[in-house]
Structure 1
Amino acid sequence: MDPIYKALIVCTNHTDYPSKPHKTGLWLSEATHFYDELADRKLPYDIASPNGGRVPIDEKSIDRRDTINEKWYNDPLFRHKLDNSLRLDEVNPADYQILYFTGGHGTMWDFPNNQTLQNITRHIYENGGLVAAVCHGVSGLLNVKLSDGSQLIDNRQVTGYSNMEEKLVRLDDQVPFLLEDALRQKNALYSKSIIPFLPYIEVDERLVTGQNPLSARKVGRKVMEEMYEK
């Protein structure tokens, strides 16, 4: 019998850019494509966000041609969890063995300095769980300290949304900082794909990170592999 693991999927509540009219939020495929990999094993999961309640979706990410988005966005249970996410301070980290940070530009505002999120991450990681993140969601790892005071990502192989990708989508002047630069400043061993926007992941023991939206499925697949096939 396979062990039953439970996953916590964390999403942003932040919607506003400093000077762009359109709204940000969760980049939908970063939740749906990741979860699609977990669904094959019928893994129990919860969705949480800093403030709880409805998770805003970046309007540019609702792509009608994405059958996986369509499948899960119209799935009653998945949609219910997205519309009624747990508040982070209601989460008991002891319940989860997998932690996953979704992206979307919104995370750049409400993930990096969230103490509750850092505590949950530390607890799951130090108790043998797996921590994963994709795209801007990797910003949630920037300030996580372990019990011995060391930084989780110090000298660890990671990836995340690149400076070049930020410039190409013309949002480099909107974000509070550039993720690639911030990861390097924290002494993470940052790498990225040679060509922007292609799937790319890094694995460093129980830390799995993906560079951009197209990496979400790969992250999910790797998480399942690490949990079940090692």
Structure 2
Amino acid sequence: MKKIMVVNTSSTQFGESDKPTGLWLGELVHFYDYFNTDDYQIDLFNIKGGNTPIDPVSLNTFMLDRVTKKYYKDEHFMGLLKNSKSIDYANPSEYDVIYFTGGHGVMFDFPDNPRIHSAVNEVYNHGGIVAAVCHGIAALLNVKNESGRFFVDNKQITGFSNTEEVLANRKNNVPFMLENQLKKREANYSKSKIPFRPYVKVDNRLVTGQNPQSPKQVAQVVTKLLS
């Protein structure tokens, strides 16, 4: 049985503002659903432990597709999100895959978290797969390897684009623009020509998806790499 470690945000709002945010639910469930079989063990973590906040925008009528709605109405699954373990209690050496979900909340509690940094290096260095989608790629921004280089340096990568941030009307709420920061880290960033279309980049055992439309495609690539 392959083991997958999923990391979600614990941030409930945009920094010091009272504007709510959290996990973009679809970015979790479309990945989770793909592996929700007896062949995989999926463990959910967040930063602080306890409740995982969900971005209310990800629950509106236009965003709540059939799969997301199914999980949102599933009491057992939502119980897992409400009672998540903190990443502080994770043992990354046990996992074949680590997957970082998005939602704007991650921009506030992923980039500088030392547990995330060590987990990424642990999973990758023992031959596992590091995967992330949308803003979840912020988890990788400040990770450095044993030689002091940024993990994303010179890697083929994608993530939520500047254009998508503007179209989502969040440019003035975020602490940084993810596309710009990835380029500053000298990642080989690329994106879909058309915003909000599925887009995935693979670099060895690093798999990244651009936006909320991409988690299922990330899961499909991860499956191929695992086999």
TM-score range, shorter chain: over 0.9
Paired residue for 2:208? 209
The TM-score, its normalising length taken from structure 1, stands at: 0.93
Which residue identity is paired with 1:50? I
Task: Give the length in aligned residue pairs.
Answer: 225
The TM-score, its normalising length taken from structure 2, stands at: 0.95
Which residue identity is paired with 1:130? I
Paired residue for 2:28? 31
What pairs up with 1:79-98 in 2 under 5 angstroms? 79-98=78-97
Paired residue for 2:112? 113
5+ residue gaps, structure 1? none
Which secondary structure state, in structure 2, belongs to the residue aligned with residue 44 of structure 1? strand
Paired residue for 1:191? 190
Displacement after TM superposition at 1:74 (Å)? 2.7
Paired residue for 1:49? 46
Distance 1:222 1:163 in 2: 25
Paired residue for 2:141? 142
Mean CA deviation greater in 19-28 or 147-156 = 19-28
Displacement after TM superposition at 1:75 (Å)? 2.9
Moved >3 Å (runs of 4+): 18-22
Distance 1:98 1:19 in 2: 33
Displacement after TM superposition at 1:63 (Å)? 4.2
Note the alpha carbon deviations across 1:97-142, whole angstroms, 9 max, x for none.
1000000000000000001111011101100000000000000000
Distance 1:31 1:67 in 2: 14
Q: CA RMSD in A?
A: 1.5
Paired residue for 2:56? 59
Q: Given that residues 8 and 46 in structure 1 are in contact (C-alpha distance below 8 angstroms), is that contact kept between their aligned partners in structure 2? A: yes
Displacement after TM superposition at 1:169 (Å)? 1.2
Q: Given that residues 19 and 174 in structure 1 are in contact (C-alpha distance below 8 angstroms), is that contact kept between their aligned partners in structure 2? A: no
Q: Given that residues 29 and 213 in structure 1 are in contact (C-alpha distance below 8 angstroms), is that contact kept between their aligned partners in structure 2? A: yes
Paired residue for 1:171? 170
Which secondary structure state, in structure 1, belongs to the residue aligned with residue 20 of structure 2? coil
Distance 2:225 2:47 in 1: 27
Distance 1:135 1:166 in 2: 11
Which secondary structure state, in structure 2, belongs to the residue aligned with residue 37 of structure 1? helix
Distance 1:74 1:42 in 2: 24
5+ residue gaps, structure 2? none
User: In 2 relative to 1, CA 186–42 (structure 1 residues): closer, same or farther, beyond 3 Å?
Assistant: same
Note the alpha carbon deviations across 1:44-73, whole angstroms, 9 max, x for none.
111111101110000010145511112222
Distance 1:78 1:206 in 2: 28
Which secondary structure state, in structure 1, belongs to the residue aligned with residue 213 of structure 2? helix
User: In 2 relative to 1, CA 124–44 (structure 1 residues): closer, same or farther, beyond 3 Å?
Assistant: same
Mean CA deviation greater in 69-78 or 195-204 = 69-78
Q: Given that residues 2 and 39 in structure 2 are in contact (C-alpha distance below 8 angstroms), is that contact kept between their aligned partners in structure 1? A: no
Displacement after TM superposition at 1:41 (Å)? 5.5
Which secondary structure state, in structure 1, belongs to the residue aligned with residue 223 of structure 2? helix
Displacement after TM superposition at 1:78 (Å)? 2.2
Distance 2:38 2:159 in 1: 26
